[in-house]
Structure 1
Amino acid sequence: MLCKKLSIADMPDLVCENIFRQLDFRSLSTIPHLCKRFQNVFSALQLEIHLESITITIGSYCINIYMDPYNDWTMDIEYHQKDNGCLVRSGNSEKFLEDENSTRLFCDDFGRNVRNQKKPLKMLRLNLENEFENENDNAKLLGSLQSTLISRKPLLKVDELSISSTSISSILPCIDSKSLKKLAIEGSSDQIQDEITNIDEIVQLEQWANLEELVARDFFLRIPVKFLRHFSKIDVSLKSISAMDLCDLKNVS
């Protein structure tokens, strides 16, 4: 009697679930790319990966995400947009996904990895390279990333958020307001105007009100001093400050 050789793709969901539960973070990250069925089984498991930090770098033709899980191998994944699809590269392995978009793939993977994250990330950093050269592409990606973050209930918990001045209005409202303690705003060498867009709206957010520490380097911050009073630690360069503002800050300290 001949026995049919089964591949892992033919195995029952329960068997796949038991296998997935034994995998490390590096292996788990590749599962959704293998087939649609694995993607569905993985999503249904609701596994928490216990990430410590995430760094996202958005370049001209590549999106890079660096993830550092607790007590496990770090993971560095690149999404390269090609004319007819997306090349996904991690370490020495790579896979080409025909007719796929790098932004959609990245946001799908990012959403899956943080969907079940319960403890706060120590750091979430978003770095936009060549911001003004790729303004339209950056806006689309930020919009997709914003939708991914805002769809998570509850919102993602982060201890420290490091972000460019041009993307703060898109991402800051998507972070849990009670967990966020430090905000680092990074300027860009390409930045012409030393201003944060929608600053009047940002300072009204709960996320801003609950912050303890603010760092804004590489550019001058234009903001009324009254919105800085509640910080326990500040490292910023102000465009201008009045004598009344100085007296006000002295009274606070």
Structure 2
Amino acid sequence: MEIPPPNLLTIAEVPMTRITEFCDLKSILNLRKVCHDLRNFIDDTKPKISKIKVLGFEIFEDRIIFEIDDRTLTMDYKDDKKGNTVFSMDQKSKILENSNFFEIFSNDFCGFLDFQGPKFERIYMDLSKMSPNSLKKFLEVFVENLKKRKEKIKVKFLPLVLLDQEDSLEILKVLDSKFLKKIQIYFENFPENREEKSWKIDKIMELEQWKNLEKLVLHSKIEISDFRNLGHLRKCVLRVAKITVEDLKILKEVSFF
């Protein structure tokens, strides 16, 4: 009887666990791309690797760039316009046939959270380089995957580049409000050559994540209807579209002024 050649899937669980414990992050991420069985094994056993503190991603019309620990590791998910996703890491590419790059990235992001742990110092998201219609489709997939997780994401600092406050609402809701301490927002005009406008954050202010916030940095011109909503912040840096004498009186009473 011919004995099949050994492969990773035929290795017993204990030796396989020991093998993954000696893998670095790049190796683990590559193994997750081999097949569903290996991905499920890694997600279930959660190999012990050095903790990642920073995540970030930029989304475009046809690609997503996912960065770990300030570009220590960069992954690229690209739509090849033929119904496939081209996944690249370390100058090596793999074609994932019959796949949507939104879904592949979202699954990988959530899988990464599962085996890495939900605590991070910073998660950076640039949602400004995609058209509003495409962004809506991406957020539907991305947020739905995040909502399926048992734990909310614990991140201390959330820098965002947005087209509108609406784009951030569902993402903010899946963050642990007790852990999030600082938000930084830059609103990008779309298209880029349009005159600068002022932006609203009134809906963001209604979220539980806002109420426990300590620091806020807003790089774009903001409309504030009630400055008392800033009163709980320890530090606030912002540009306002307009301000009245009454607003200044309120600001004199808050802690960061």
Q: After superposition, where does 1:102-181 map in structure 2 within 5 Å?
A: 102-118=101-117, 120-131=119-130, 134-165=131-162, 166=164, 167-181=167-181
Give 2:57's aligned amino acid: I
SS at match of 2:76: strand
- Determine if the alignment matches structure 1 residue 186 to structure 2 residue 186: yes
Between 1:242-251 and 1:162-171, the stretch displaced more is 162-171
Structure 1: any 5+ residue segments left out of the alignment? none
2:24 — aligned with what?
Answer: 24
**Which structure 2 segments of 5+ residues have no match?**
none
Structure 2 partner of 1:41: 41
Other-structure match for 2:68: 67
How far apart, CA to CA, are the structure 1 residues paired with 2:61 and 2:151? 32
Contact 2:198 2:220 in 1 (8 A): no
The Cα shift of 1:223 comes to 4.0
TM-score, structure 2 normalization: 0.87
**TM-score (ref. length: structure 1):** 0.88
CA positional deviation for 1:46: 2.9
Of 100-109 and 143-152, more deviation after overlay is shown by 143-152
CA distance in 2, matches of 1:173, 1:234: 21
Percent identity between the aligned chains? 25
Inter-partner Cα distance in structure 2 for 1:144 and 1:212: 30
The CA deviation string for residues 100-138 of structure 1, in whole angstroms up to 9 with x for no partner, is 11011001110011124446311111102434xx22221
Corresponding pairs, count: 246
CA contact (8 A) 2:43 2:115 kept: no
Instruction: Name the Cα RMSD after superposition.
Output: 2.3
Whether the aligned pair in 2 keeps the contact of 1:143 and 1:170 (CA below 8 Å) is no
